[in-house]
Structures are given as C-alpha cells and as structure tokens.
C-alpha cells in the first residue's frame, strides 16, 4: 500500500494548492498567509465580517476549492468562516446561516453548489441552523471580469426568497469573498423585501482596496 502511494506521488506529485510547490497540499508559507483574522466592512447598512485579506494566494485557495473541489481548500474556508462567526457578536441572536446561491452554470461545472456545500460543512461543525432561503430570479454573469458598476447591474434584482421558505429574523449571509459587495447587497435586499431580517454577513475573504 505504502509503495503504491509513493509511486502515485512520483507520477502525480502533490502540489501546494496555494503556490503549486511540490510537497504538501498546503505549504507552510501559504498556510501562514491564510491565517484567519477579523475584519469588518460596511456595505450600505449591512455589516460584513471576514477572516482573510484577499491576495493571490487566497485567490488560488478559493479556486482550488471552487473549481477543483480540493477538500483541504474547503477545510481552510470552513475554518475561517467558523472563526469569524465566533468573533462576531451574534450571541444574543437566534441566527441561521443563509448561503449565497450559485448560478446553475457554475453548479453544473463544479458538480455542487459551492457555498451551499461549505455552509453545510459549517453547520455540521457548529450545529448552527442553515436556511437555504435564496434563489436566483434570473441568470447572472460570472462577476470575476466585471468592474464595480457592472457588478451592481448584474446583481440588481437577481435574487428572491425561495418559494415555501418562511421569512424569519436573524439571518447571516455566507459567501466566500466580498469584493464590491454587489452580491451581498442584493441578497440582503431580496430577503428584507420578503420580510426577513438580515443581521450581517460572514465571508472567508475580503478584497481590498475597493475598485
């Protein structure tokens, strides 16, 4: 078994998913860069709590999880969001986690709803309830190539409360990264319009500076 594993490593060497260096699945340099802190940003009236400043390494870790389904990258993201949830002052509230929905296209490409899956893993570890409250009301474009105004237009009116979900209070939106805030702003708008009360948002990464 051991020999076969080592042979496998010669043919398919394990590479760091942060920097591509051969060796561990995440090297010590990248692991240090992904050290969860606690940042707060305001997007309109929505308070966004985040763990990691977005960097080229952070971007590769998110992509490794999202596009390549690498379990170790999922673990880093889950761990950072749980860290922020423990820092944010939600203790007096009866919170439930709401995943930001993925587009059908990315679900098909990745074989899973990425944030829904991440939030499921968080719920398993924290016992916090999850409400899959949001859905896309129309197709949206991939945001990565869009600037701030295009992102706002892309997301404006794009989400709604899923049919059959009972509106409730103390919802916390969960996403992997906040950049311009267009996605979170739309998610909060859709939930608020449907009679829910959003108490904040938690993301693994926060991109700075705003462009």
User: Binding of Zn ion at residue 27 (CB under 5 A)?
Assistant: yes
Q: Report residue 150: phi and psi, to 5°.
A: -65, -35
Report the chain's terminal Cα–Cα distance, integer Å.
51
The yes or no reply on residue 16 touching Zn ion (CB under 5 A) is yes
Binds Zn ion by CB under 5 A, chosen from 14, 15, 19, 55: 19
Residue 6 and residue 2: Cα distance in Å, rounded? 6
Nearer to Zn ion, 30 or 155 (CB): 30
Contact between 182 and 190 (Cβ < 8 Å): no
Of the pair 19, 123, the CB lying nearest Zn ion is at: 19
CB of 23 to Zn ion, least distance (A): 8
**Binding residues among 29-68 for Zn ion as defined by CB under 5 A:** 30
Select from 26-34, 77-85, 120-128, 197-205 the region that touches Zn ion (CB under 5 A).
Answer: 26-34
Stretch that binds Zn ion, among 8-16, 123-131, 134-142, 183-191 (CB under 5 A): 8-16
C-beta neighbour count of 136 within 10 angstroms: 16
Q: Between 24 and 43, whose beta carbon lies closer to Zn ion?
A: 24
DSSP 198: E
Considering the complex, state which of residue 30 and residue 81 has its C-beta at the smaller distance from Zn ion.
30
Residue carrying structure tokens 């989400």: 159
Long-range interactions of 23-28: CB distance < 8 A, separation 24+: 25/70, 25/72, 26/61, 26/72, 26/73, 26/76
| Separation CA 87–CA 93 (nearest Å) | 14
Cβ at position 82, least distance to Zn ion in Å: 22
The residues of the shown chain that bind Zn ion, judged by CB under 5 A, are: 16, 18-19, 27, 30
């Amino acid at each position: 078994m051991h020999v076969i594993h080592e042979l496998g490593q010669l043919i398919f060497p394990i590479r760091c998913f942060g920097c591509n260096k051969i060796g561990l699945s995440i090297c010590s340099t990248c692991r240090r860069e992904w050290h969860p802190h606690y940042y707060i940003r305001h997007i309109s009236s929505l308070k966004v709590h985040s763990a990691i400043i977005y960097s080229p390494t952070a971007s590769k870790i998110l992509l490794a999880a999202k596009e390549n389904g690498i379990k170790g990258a999922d673990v880093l993201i889950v761990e950072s969001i749980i860290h922020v949830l423990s820092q944010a002052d939600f203790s007096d509230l009866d919170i439930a986690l709401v995943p930001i929905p993925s587009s059908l296209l990315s679900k098909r490409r990745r074989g899973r709803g990425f944030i829904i899956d991440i939030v499921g893993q968080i719920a398993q570890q924290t016992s916090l309830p999850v409400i899959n409250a949001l859905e896309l009301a129309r197709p949206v474009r991939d945001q990565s190539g869009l600037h701030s105004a295009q992102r706002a237009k892309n997301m404006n009116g794009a989400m709604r409360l899923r049919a059959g979900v009972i509106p409730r209070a103390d919802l916390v939106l969960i996403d992997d990264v906040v950049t311009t805030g267009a996605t979170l702003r739309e998610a909060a708008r859709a939930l608020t319009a449907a009679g829910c009360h959003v108490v904040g948002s938690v993301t693994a990464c926060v991109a700075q500076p705003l462009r």
